[in-house]
Structure 1
Amino acid sequence: MNASKLHHYVPQFHLRRFADEGGRLWAWDKQTDRVFPTSPGGIAAETQFYRLTQYEVDGHDPLTMEKQLSDMEGEVSLITDQWLGWLPDMAPLDKLPIPRISRWIVARFLAVQVLRTLDTRELLSAMVELDRGEPVDEREARELHTELVWDRRVVRSLTKRFSRSIWIFARNDSATPFITSDNPVSFRSPDNRQWLRSIALVSGAYLVFALSPHVVLYCHPRVGPFRKLSKFNNRVSPVVVDDGMVESENSGQVFMASRFVLSNRATFDAERAFAPTIGTDTYAPPPP
């Protein structure tokens, strides 16, 4: 075993889709305002991030979680590659043939992706520190986090929520690509006015996940105003996506990112403009 092995908290297959023609991934560090080229293998990862130190002492394989995540990613990569192969030739309102098992596998992937990131680890550690009034060290933070990712009840609850949602695929033919980040699954309030982190506490929030620079998946809960979207389930959106709409969805990646916003191009002007407005109503649409 390589003790320096990097464990990705955003899968490399996802990151590769956002690389440029030369295989480079462009990163904007929103903490330092630095833009630099990297590779899908060199970012959104930390050494032994999922190492199960709490079970290692009893002789169990400490890389079990990393291996399980890798197996899941392989399945999801194959399924979504097929979708991305079909979508360019589909007309608005065409329906993707998504078997129930494929829907469950992708919904589970989205659930785990929400839980597995550095952002979740940091939020979980901060909550524990606040509760007991003393800091959490690196090892305890890892163990708290891996226990959460491995909690079947939590994963199953989120998986059922996403699987039962209304899935709509929007195609982006504009000049502006969708981007991703080191925390790529974002959530928006039902009124579209806010990006949200604490999804478990927000009823009616919907999921936004860019599958590539050209396709975004929306998962709308079957509640409230979203019920009327049921007729679009598994279909290509009839909405023509323009540059402004893409920039609006990309702002969710700026909001969600722990640190790195990622793209197939080196320009992050819109993202830089949005970042200082987080926590304000500058870009919120007018209330209904």
Structure 2
Amino acid sequence: MSSSPTTDQKAERKRHHFVSVTYLESWVDEMGKLQAYRSDNPAEPLHVGPKNTGFEKYYYSQLREDGSRDNDSFEDLFGNVETRWPMVLEAVDAGAFDPNVLHWLYSMLTMMRTRIPAARDYNEALMALETRTGFKVLAEMGKLPNKLKRYEDELDTVEVTVNRQRTLGTMSEDMRRFADMTRRLGFEILSDDTGTDFITSDNPVAYFDPDDRGIRKPYIENTKVELYFPLSPRHVLHGANRLKRFGPIPRFRKISDRTKVHAINRITSRFAYRLAFAGDRSNDDLIQRHAATSPVLDADVVRKPGKIEYHIGHRFAARPVLPKFRPEACEDDLYEEDFRP
């Protein structure tokens, strides 16, 4: 006879959703499913339920000092926001916000910019670049540790892997920077009055310089910023500096022009990373047209006497294939004495 699991024996959380199930539920059809377009095969979208897409096993797990795995801390943190999402959508449908509901709207906005693979891959690629550059400098100075000297002539090409768990530690700083940027913006809720649904993605928070008409560079944080975040097939959050004059509470405005809805969907599809989502197949062509590129790391390393400068940002390009971190294949740990003459 099997006994019921106790609190200490609760089921292990394996599927960590980087796109909230609650968020995606707005896009489901009468069968409770939505169209999930994979960026590596956009011509054949999957017709699946929200629980069966937008996840990766143990994506937010952390190793404890004793070697055990914490699968729950980040999931609990995100779940605290996700459980409030239906309340936010009710306020959107009603056309009225109170400060408490606004808090959860902006919490979801921040979370969906910083928890997702587009953000974590960006940070992983940057960490790898910094590691490679640092060891190239040590090699030029003749201070490369003996354990790594066999790589001295191939530091431009040798595979550099990063323990992806390290990118969990960058999320708090990413959230702070994103919050600082959004404080310069005013917001409005755009409601589709054309019957043309908004789409969304696994990287649904898109922002850019509005003077960059072709959006050549994503995620520019200059003086001017334009931001879009689909809330449901009928509503999208729009942010811009010029909207600040309307006050802290988002205003509500209807869109009666199909070309405007199409333009927002085009932005959403361009920013999509691994996945785009829709309630039907009416945006197949649009999603497929932009599936090959996404916002990725754009970095220049400038060497100056006594220092290294990293000029970093984003560009639209093919998604990086990041090498998987395998501890068993890594060099032995480096210690202070390894860097001594």
Range into which the TM-score falls when normalised by the shorter chain: 0.7 to 0.9
Higher helix share: 1
Answering whether residue 31 of structure 2 is matched by residue 9 of structure 1, we say no
Could you tell me which runs of 5 or more consecutive residues in structure 2 were left unpaired when the two chains were aligned: 1-9, 133-158, 295-314, 317-341
RMSD of aligned Cα (Å) = 2.8
For residues 12 and 41 of structure 1, do their structure 2 counterparts lie closer, same or farther at Cα, with a shift above 3 Å needed?
A: same
For residues 245 and 251 of structure 1, do their structure 2 counterparts lie closer, same or farther at Cα, with a shift above 3 Å needed?
A: same
Is 1:10–1:44's contact at 8 Å kept on the other side of the alignment?
yes
Instruction: In structure 1, give the amino acid aligned to 2:93.
Output: G
Aligned partners of 1:65, 1:261: CA distance in 2, in Å? 24
TM-score, with structure 1 as normaliser: 0.78
Pairs within 5 Å for 1:248-259: 248-259=263-274
Report the Cα offset of residue 121 of structure 1. 1.4
Is 1:178–1:210's contact at 8 Å kept on the other side of the alignment?
yes
For residues 98 and 4 of structure 1, do their structure 2 counterparts lie closer, same or farther at Cα, with a shift above 3 Å needed?
A: closer
For 2:167, the equivalent position in structure 1 comes to: 145
Secondary structure, counterpart of 2:46 in structure 1: strand
Aligned partners of 1:236, 1:227: CA distance in 2, in Å? 12
For residues 227 and 27 of structure 1, do their structure 2 counterparts lie closer, same or farther at Cα, with a shift above 3 Å needed?
A: closer
Report the Cα offset of residue 197 of structure 1. 3.8
Answering whether residue 88 of structure 2 is matched by residue 80 of structure 1, we say yes
Is 1:168–1:232's contact at 8 Å kept on the other side of the alignment?
no
TM-score, with structure 2 as normaliser: 0.67
For 1:172, the equivalent position in structure 2 comes to: 192
Is 2:123–2:170's contact at 8 Å kept on the other side of the alignment?
no
Identity over aligned residues, as a percent? 22
Aligned partners of 1:103, 1:249: CA distance in 2, in Å? 22
Q: Deviations over 1:164-205 (max 9, x none)?
A: 631111110213210011111111322262175435x44422
Instruction: In structure 2, give the amino acid aligned to 1:82.
Output: E
Aligned partners of 1:131, 1:277: CA distance in 2, in Å? 24
Instruction: In structure 1, give the amino acid aligned to 2:91.
Output: W
For 1:46, the equivalent position in structure 2 comes to: 56
Q: Deviations over 1:193-241 (max 9, x none)?
A: 2175435x444222211110001111223xxxx157526952112x533
Higher strand share: 2
Pairs within 5 Å for 1:211-230: 211-221=231-241, 226=242, 229-230=245-246
Aligned length in residues? 258
Larger Rg over CA atoms:
2
Report the Cα offset of residue 41 of structure 1. 0.4
Answering whether residue 179 of structure 2 is matched by residue 159 of structure 1, we say yes
For residues 183 and 172 of structure 1, do their structure 2 counterparts lie closer, same or farther at Cα, with a shift above 3 Å needed?
A: same
Is 2:58–2:71's contact at 8 Å kept on the other side of the alignment?
no
Deviates more, 1:243-252 or 1:156-165: 156-165
Report the Cα offset of residue 242 of structure 1. 2.2
Aligned partners of 2:293, 2:86: CA distance in 1, in Å? 38
